[in-house]
Amino acid sequence: MFQIVELEDVIRISPSKFGQPLHDVALEILKTRYESTISTELGYMILVIDVSVGSVGKIIPGDGGTYHKVKFSVLNFYPKIQEVIEGEIVEITDFGAFVRIGPVDALLHLSQITDDFLTSDVKQGMILASKSKRTLRVGSRVRVRINAVSLGRGTAIGKIGVTSRQPFLGAIEWIEEDLEKASKVIEGKKA
């Protein structure tokens, strides 16, 4: 889930930055500190959006910099277990596929795709179901449910596991086919 979170912190402005606009310096420091990091409480920190910096800073003896309180907003992505999300397959491996959901790739293991027997062809970038002949390819749009989340700390990547083994999950074209079949069955019962 994408969300905007309000945070507070204290930043150190180095003496070399004293002539520059305080807002710009604070934004630069916060971008370096927060963007492209992972927090176990907040998830993937994507972008620092807005900064409000206190104009009066504190000086600590022996340190030439000034310390300022800042309030700022961060766009983040926090994957929640049981959340249904759409993404794109970006890589096929021997053991499944990686689905890009937001700023991160989640693992869709072969055992979590469908009940059908699957074969993975890494060279052609596809996974083929033996009975239904349905395929997943690099670039396929899929709807999946998040079933495992393990966030790292700092710049560690973290791991997300997803499944499509439930009704109305899987490749978008599969879902459309299933909906069309279901509507024909309903129409047949009405006639």
Q: Would you list the domain boundaries of the chain?
A: 2-77, 84-190
Q: What CATH homologous superfamily does 84-190 map to?
A: Nucleic acid-binding proteins (2.40.50.140)
pLDDT at 115 over 60: yes
Q: Where are the beta strands (DSSP E) in 14-164?
A: 37-39, 43-53, 58-59, 66-77, 84-93, 96-101, 104-109, 118-121, 126-129, 135-137, 141-150, 159-163
Question: Mean of the per-residue pLDDT values for the chain?
Answer: 91
pLDDT at position 40? 84
Q: Lowest-pLDDT range, 54-68, 93-107, 174-188?
A: 174-188
Q: Average of pLDDT values for 169-187?
A: 88
| Domains 2-77 and 84-190 agree in fold | no
Architecture of domain 2-77: 2-Layer Sandwich (3.30)
